[in-house]
Amino acid sequence: MTKTYTFSESQSIIFNDKKVVECTLCKGNGFITNYTYQTDTSGRKVKVETFEVCEDCGDTGVTISKMSLPMLISLLADRVLNTDIKTTDEEKIKLKIEAQEVFSKVAVNRKVWADNLSSFSGKFLSEAEKNCNEPVTFIASLGSTMKFENISYQLVKPYGTEKWFLTYGADVRGAVAQPQPPQQGGRGGWRRQLPTVTSSGSYVMVTGIIRGMGTVESGGKIYSAPMIEAADIVTLRK
């Protein structure tokens, strides 16, 4: 029996997670603003703003190296998808939108985040048949999209693996762009970003629950793969 959550239980957890994911050093900005004084051409002292990439989060604004973050994000999927029967459709949409704000924040293309997610979700994904109802979050490359019995499916391949999964329940959406510091200033520190994951295609972050094996028929082909009910699929922001 899957545990379910009331609307207010889910909402308070999502609200709390919004704060938890944010880097405390730069307050989620990804950069730190410093002030220095310079003398201008007329000899007046003027205050000048400079911006430096945050040492703690490497400009992402979120604590992606924190080991507990993958579990926290995955449990968010649990709160969005396993609502109790009293939760109205309107409330479900509200939860989804609020959770998407958190997912957008953490959908960053950084190798340290992909690795952190892999070490948490990899063990569930590699034996998906045995791990039904486990919430997972992972970075994946996109395969084709298909429709079967009026449900849309998306093929995804988790980062660092060769195994395909079928997702349903959420469409791929673009993440909100990371705030950038204003153009002036910079001191060159802006280039010290964390390494990203690269491939010929684009990567997404999938957050959802493993739902066992499934079969989908499309274009005369049969796809048999582990299923993920997705709470969100979001393209990674740079």
Residues in contact with Zn ion by the rule CB under 5 A: 23, 25-26, 54, 56-57
Classified as helix, coil or strand, 144 is strand
- Smallest gap from Cβ 23 to Zn ion, in A, equals 3
- Smallest gap from Cβ 176 to Zn ion, in A, equals 17
Tokens of 53: 């990439």
Give Cα separations from 93 to 7, 100, 104 (angstroms): 11, 10, 16
Find out whether 209 and 193 touch, Cβ atoms under 8 Å: no
- Smallest gap from Cβ 139 to Zn ion, in A, equals 20
Find out whether 45 and 38 touch, Cβ atoms under 8 Å: yes
C-beta of 30 vs 226, nearer to Zn ion: 30
C-beta of 60 vs 167, nearer to Zn ion: 60
- Smallest gap from Cβ 104 to Zn ion, in A, equals 16
Place of tokens 């957050």: 207
C-beta of 105 vs 211, nearer to Zn ion: 105
Tokens of 12: 């308070």
The rounded distance, in Å, linking the Cα atoms of 209 and 57 is 28
Give Cα separations from 18 to 21, 26, 237 (angstroms): 6, 15, 18
C-beta of 169 vs 189, nearer to Zn ion: 189
**What does DSSP assign to residue 7?**
H
- Smallest gap from Cβ 66 to Zn ion, in A, equals 12
C-beta of 179 vs 212, nearer to Zn ion: 179
